[in-house]
């Protein structure tokens, strides 16, 4: 019985079955004391089992996300001439870094339904379930968070930054800023056609502190009293050295 069904299953498969073959210039980013950012080149190819479908062009969407954590967003109000915090909303999960690069405007290459399903856009990548009943405009807090982090360069929407050659080879460069959070950065590549996702590929980029930066980070987490004493000693030595240098300059 099964062998009679196989031909019908094959005919039911999409005629343009496509998969992603991916490459990364680096799958590990080392944060050192002199780290000032890093560019990741993401490139790949579309593997096909049939000729290119020229009637409906293929599009590519690439996302890179940093570790997600809860964050509290506060709003200030002017009360009697003084700006004070009056409202706050707890955002359940917000990525510390998020970049979405596309071959064209996101609304053109991805439908709202697919965005909701895969959480691709910056808005969808942030999860904010609820807010206090007293706050009726909780969406503005999420908008403020996105606005601030885009200004800092940790949220990036790179429309048209994915180059797609001959509907087969694609590449883009993601600029990762100096203030990266250590952790695993999921990287996703979506192939879309007419706004619908036809293929998806996932990998990760590892961001780790190394050298002195790693030693100080581990010391601050595992031996907090020792780290505190060492910080005080370094501050005292630096202050004494600056004072001695100043006295020497005045004496000369």
Q: What pLDDT is stored for residue 33 in this prediction?
A: 58
- The string of pLDDT tens digits covering residues 3-21 is 443 343 334 444 457 888 7
Backbone angles phi, psi at 64, to 5 degrees: -130, 125
Instruction: Return the minimum-mean-pLDDT range out of 197-201, 220-224, 231-235.
Output: 220-224
Cβ within 8 Å of residue 3, ≥6 positions away = none
Q: What is the mean pLDDT of residues 186-198?
A: 93
CATH topology of domain 15-209: Immunoglobulin-like (2.60.40)
Confidence band for 220, pLDDT divided at 50, 70 and 90: low
**How far is the C-alpha of 168 from the C-alpha of 170, rounded, in Å?**
7
**C-alpha distance from residue 197 to each of 111, 194, 247 (Å):** 9, 9, 69
What is the rounded average pLDDT for all residues in the chain?
78
Q: How far is CA 32 from CA 35, 65, 205, 235, 249, in A?
A: 5, 21, 17, 21, 34
Predicted pLDDT at 238: 67
pLDDT in tens, 199-217: 999 988 888 765 445 445 5
Tell me, yes or no, if the pTM score tops 0.75: no
């Amino acid at each position: 019985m099964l062998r009679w069904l196989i031909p019908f299953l094959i005919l039911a498969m999409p005629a343009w079955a496509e998969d992603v073959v991916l490459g990364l210039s680096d799958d590990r980013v080392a944060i050192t004391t002199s780290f000032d950012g890093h560019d990741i080149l993401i490139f790949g190819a579309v593997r096909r089992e049939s000729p290119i479908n020229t009637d409906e062009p293929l599009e590519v969407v690439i996302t890179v996300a940093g570790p997600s954590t809860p964050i509290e967003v506060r709003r200030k109000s002017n009360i009697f001439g003084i700006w004070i915090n009056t409202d706050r909303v707890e955002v359940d999960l917000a990525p510390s870094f998020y970049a979405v690069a596309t071959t064209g405007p996101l609304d053109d290459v991805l439908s709202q339904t697919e965005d909701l399903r895969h959480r691709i856009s910056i808005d969808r990548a942030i999860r904010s379930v609820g807010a206090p009943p007293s706050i009726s405009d909780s969406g503005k807090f999420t908008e403020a968070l996105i606005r601030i982090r885009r200004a800092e360069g940790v949220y990036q929407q790179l429309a048209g930054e994915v180059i797609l050659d001959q509907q087969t080879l694609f590449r883009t460069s993601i600029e990762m800023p100096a203030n990266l959070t250590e952790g695993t950065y999921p990287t996703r590549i979506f192939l879309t056609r007419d706004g619908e996702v036809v293929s998806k590929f996932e990998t990760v980029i590892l961001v780790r502190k190394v050298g002195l930066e790693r030693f100080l980070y581990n010391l601050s987490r595992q031996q907090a009293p020792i780290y505190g004493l060492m910080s005080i000693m370094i501050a005292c030595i630096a202050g004494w050295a600056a004072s001695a240098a100043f006295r020497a300059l005045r004496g000369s």
